[in-house]
């Protein structure tokens, strides 16, 4: 298996605070990795760096061998658009666009909007009949599934999810985990940042961060 | 679906599905455009309207007879043909002769009375305006003669002593409060039948035009007829003074309203953009460039400006029309160019008002706003 993502001696420093301290991590293609840790441990900082929304103070981030550490904001935007699919805890759908249009929005920034393809992505998450609904007309679980369809639509190299079940009830949590399982079975690389050990135990590997350092790696069976 | 089509779909969705926000912004733009359009319509139309009002002060251009080239009705008509018909309120030729009534001397004025009613609308006639065989007596003449409307008088030209006097009926008495009350008025054709020639002494024009345009017309008439043509300075100068002061006042108000509109629209747009910071952050996280974000918001502001501008052009016209009807009792003219300028200006003002807030919002850090910071 090829290495898709590699973090080499990554540190992120805010004034006197070291949010990340000399992190080394490799993610294989098709791997499902969970990142766990208590609040303030540096999970979000790590997610921002992997998701090209921030750059490290020290060290290198290599995505498919390309060093992201020295890229400009515009170049990082381009990497984010082409190679990363983002899933958020709070869904972050555009509230005046329908479910279908929210999926097409990712296509619009990536290449060309294709209504049929976007509809197919919604079908994959079981929402083809809710395509014309606005986010306010969807439940939390449905919104998260739209968010997943949006993340998948451009066939990103890495799917990065920040607490994807954090705002969901038990039933919807199960539905979302099933979708992650399916993504993994399809060979996609999935990185999930979570508090929830039940979510993490579905992944192949869990890394635990504490005070900005990788404290433990667990290989789930 | 191509990108442009989806771009338009997004803009329309943003405007149509965020109706309450749209309404606030549209109201700000539309109200500004209404005031601007209305005020500029009045600014443009007030001279026309007031020009008509000023015409009630009497003639503003006169042609007088030259001893070598006598003025005739035909020459006066030739001069009238040079005036654009939509600006000519009226023109009246008059001939003055010394007359005797009941052996008392007076000055008679034979005039085109139908036209005179247009050029001197301030004349007050107690009784009727004279027809053939009738005269209108100035108040002072009537007092001298002890005459009233309905009386019959014998009138003869002084210069033709041997001429038999003719009988005229007094149709009415004239009150103007000035020198006109010393005259006896009768139809021009009646007086010319007594003098047996076609000469007239003066032709008065009431023309709806500014001083400069009148000057040009006077010059053209001079060249065409060879007569003395002059402006009635007292009237034209007052008109120019009042109009220029009024225009300056409307101009200042218009500029103040324009500035206030820009401030109002800018404030509204700042609020609209600020509440969409999270959406901007999301779009950036999905891969939108700063330029892309800027283009999307500017697209929205252009549509908003277009909507507000059209609304403002229509309401502005209605506002100006209502003011004009109230003040002058006449409607304003529809000005297509002004409507187009209103719409364009609304688009420009709205777009300009968006530049600073959108530029600043497009620099947001997506990681920060998506975390809710």
Q: What is the pLDDT of residue A142?
A: 92
Contact B227, B221 (CB under 8 A): yes
Contact B6 A44 (CB under 8 A): no
Contact B273, B361 (CB under 8 A): yes
CB < 8 Å to A114, chain B: 1
Phi, psi at residue A133, to the nearest 5°? Answer: -90, 145
Phi, psi at residue A52, to the nearest 5°? Answer: 60, 30
Q: What is the pLDDT of residue B29?
A: 86
Q: Can you tell me the distance from the alpha carbon of B75 to that of B63, in angstroms, rounded to the nearest whole number?
A: 10
Length of chain A: 221
Contact B286 A105 (CB under 8 A): yes
Contact B283 A109 (CB under 8 A): yes
Structure tokens at B327: 């003040």
Contact A189, A159 (CB under 8 A): yes
Contact A53 B282 (CB under 8 A): no
The pTM of this model reads 0.68
State the complex-level ipTM. Answer: 0.90
Domain boundaries, chain B: 3-53+241-370, 61-231
Contact A108 B278 (CB under 8 A): no
pLDDT tens across B353-367, in order? Answer: 888 888 888 888 887
Percent of chain A with pLDDT over 90: 52
Give yes or no for residue B372 having a pLDDT over 70: no
Domain boundaries, chain A: 3-219
HSE-CB for B330 with a 13 A CA cutoff? 13
Handedness of CA B355, B357, B360, B366 (dihedral sign): negative
**Beta pairing partners, A153:** none
What Cα–Cα distance (Å) separates residue A154 from each residue in A89, A150, B208, B290, B326? 20, 8, 71, 21, 64
CA distance A218 to chain B (A): 28
Q: What is the pLDDT of residue A27?
A: 94
Of B3, B7, B282, the CB nearest to A92: B282
pLDDT tens across B14-48, in order? Answer: 888 888 777 888 888 888 888 888 888 887 777 77
Q: What's the mean pLDDT in A98-116? A: 93
Give the residue carrying structure tokens 């990554």.
A10
B13 close to A (CB below 8 A): yes
Give yes or no for residue A108 having a pLDDT over 90: yes
| Best mutation target, A109, A110, A164, to test chain B (most B CBs within 10 A) | A109
Give yes or no for residue A11 having a pLDDT over 70: yes
In the stretch 147-166 of chain B, residues with CB closer than 8 A to chain A read none
CA distance B261 to chain A (A): 28
Q: Can you tell me the distance from the alpha carbon of A169 to that of B327, in angstroms, rounded to the nearest whole number?
A: 69
For residue A35, what are the contacts with CB-CB under 8 A and spacing of at least 6? A43, A46, A47, A191, A192, A193, A194, A206, A207, A208, A209
Of B7, B17, B285, the CB nearest to A80: B285
- Using alpha carbons only, what angle is made at residue B247 by residues B44 and B121, rounded to the nearest 5 degrees? 75
User: Count of A–B CB contacts within 8 Å?
Assistant: 75
Q: How high is the mean pLDDT of chain B?
A: 85
Q: Can you tell me the distance from the alpha carbon of B241 to that of B239, in angstroms, rounded to the nearest whole number?
A: 6
In the stretch 307-366 of chain B, residues with CB closer than 8 A to chain A read 365-366
Q: What is the pLDDT of residue B1?
A: 67
Contact A153, A107 (CB under 8 A): yes
Q: What is the pLDDT of residue A84?
A: 92
Q: What's the mean pLDDT in B271-282? A: 86
Structure tokens at A77: 């935007």
Q: Could you give the residue ranges of the DSSP H alpha helices within chain B?
A: 3-17, 19-54, 73-80, 113-119, 139-145, 188-195, 211-225, 233-274, 277-285, 290-327, 336-361, 366-370
End-to-end alpha carbon distance in chain A: 18
Q: What is the pLDDT of residue B162?
A: 55
Ramachandran quadrant class, B372 (left: phi over 0; alpha: psi -120 to 50; beta: rest): left
The CATH number assigned to the domain with range A3-219 reads 3.40.50.300
Q: Can you tell me the distance from the alpha carbon of B70 to that of B48, in angstroms, rounded to the nearest whole number?
A: 34
pLDDT tens across B147-193, in order? Answer: 888 999 888 887 765 567 888 999 999 998 888 899 999 999 888 88
């Amino acid at each position: 298996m090829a290495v898709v993502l590699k973090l080499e001696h990554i540190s992120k420093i805010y004034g006197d605070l070291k949010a990340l301290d000399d992190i080394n991590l490799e993610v294989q293609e098709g791997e499902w990795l969970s990142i766990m840790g208590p609040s303030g441990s540096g999970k979000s900082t790590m997610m921002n760096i992997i998701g090209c929304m921030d750059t490290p103070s020290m060290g290198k981030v290599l995505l498919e061998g390309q060093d992201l550490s020295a890229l400009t904001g515009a170049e990082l935007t381009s990497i984010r658009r082409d190679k990363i699919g983002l899933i958020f805890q709070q869904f972050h759908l555009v509230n005046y666009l329908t479910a279908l249009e929210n999926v097409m929005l990712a296509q619009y920034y990536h290449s060309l909007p294709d209504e049929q393809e976007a509809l197919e992505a919604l079908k994959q998450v079981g929402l083809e009949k809710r395509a014309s609904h606005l986010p306010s007309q969807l439940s939390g679980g449905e919104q998260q599934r739209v968010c997943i369809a949006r993340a998948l639509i451009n066939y990103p190299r890495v799917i990065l999810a920040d607490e994807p079940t954090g705002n969901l009830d038990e039933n919807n949590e199960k539905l979302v985990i099933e979708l992650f399982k399916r993504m993994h079975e399809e060979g996609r690389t999935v990185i999930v940042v979570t508090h929830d050990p039940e979510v993490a135990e579905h992944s192949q590997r869990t890394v635990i961060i504490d005070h900005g350092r990788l404290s433990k790696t667990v290989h789930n069976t | 679906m191509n990108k442009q089509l989806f771009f338009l779909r997004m803009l329309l969705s943003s405007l149509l599905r965020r109706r309450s926000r749209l309404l606030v912004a549209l109201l700000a733009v539309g109200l500004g455009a209404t005031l601007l359009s209305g005020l500029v319509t009045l600014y443009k139309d007030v001279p026309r309207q007031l020009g008509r009002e000023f015409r009630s002060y009497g003639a503003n251009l006169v042609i007088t007879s030259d001893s070598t080239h006598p003025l005739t009705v035909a020459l006066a008509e030739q001069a009238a043909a040079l005036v654009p018909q939509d600006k000519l309120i009226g023109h009246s030729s008059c001939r003055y002769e010394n007359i005797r009534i009941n052996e008392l001397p007076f000055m008679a004025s034979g005039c085109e009375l139908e036209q005179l009613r247009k050029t001197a609308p301030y004349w007050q006639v107690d009784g009727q305006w004279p027809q053939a065989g009738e005269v209108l007596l100035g108040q002072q003449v009537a007092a001298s003669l002890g005459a009233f409307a309905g009386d019959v008088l014998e009138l003869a030209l002084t210069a033709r002593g041997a001429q038999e006097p003719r009988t005229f009926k007094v149709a009415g008495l004239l009150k103007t409060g000035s020198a006109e009350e010393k005259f006896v008025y009768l139809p021009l054709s009646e007086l010319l039948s007594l003098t047996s020639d076609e000469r007239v002494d003066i032709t008065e024009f009431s023309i709806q035009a500014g001083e400069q345009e009148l000057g040009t017309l006077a010059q053209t008439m001079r060249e065409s007829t060879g007569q003395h043509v002059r402006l009635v300075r007292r009237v034209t100068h007052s008109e120019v003074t009042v109009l220029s002061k009024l225009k300056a006042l409307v101009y200042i108000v218009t500029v103040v309203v324009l500035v206030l509109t820009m401030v109002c629209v800018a404030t509204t747009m700042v609020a609209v953009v600020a509440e969409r910071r999270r959406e901007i952050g999301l779009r950036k996280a999905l891969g939108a460039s700063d330029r892309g974000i800027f283009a999307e918001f500017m697209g929205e502001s252009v549509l908003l400006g277009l909507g507000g501008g059209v609304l403002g052009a229509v309401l502005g016209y209605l506002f100006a029309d209502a003011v004009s009807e109230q003040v002058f009792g006449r409607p304003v003219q529809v000005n297509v160019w002004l409507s187009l300028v209103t719409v364009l200006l609304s688009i420009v003002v709205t777009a300009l008002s968006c530049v600073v807030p959108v530029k600043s919002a497009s620099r947001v850090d997506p990681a920060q706003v998506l975390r809710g910071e």
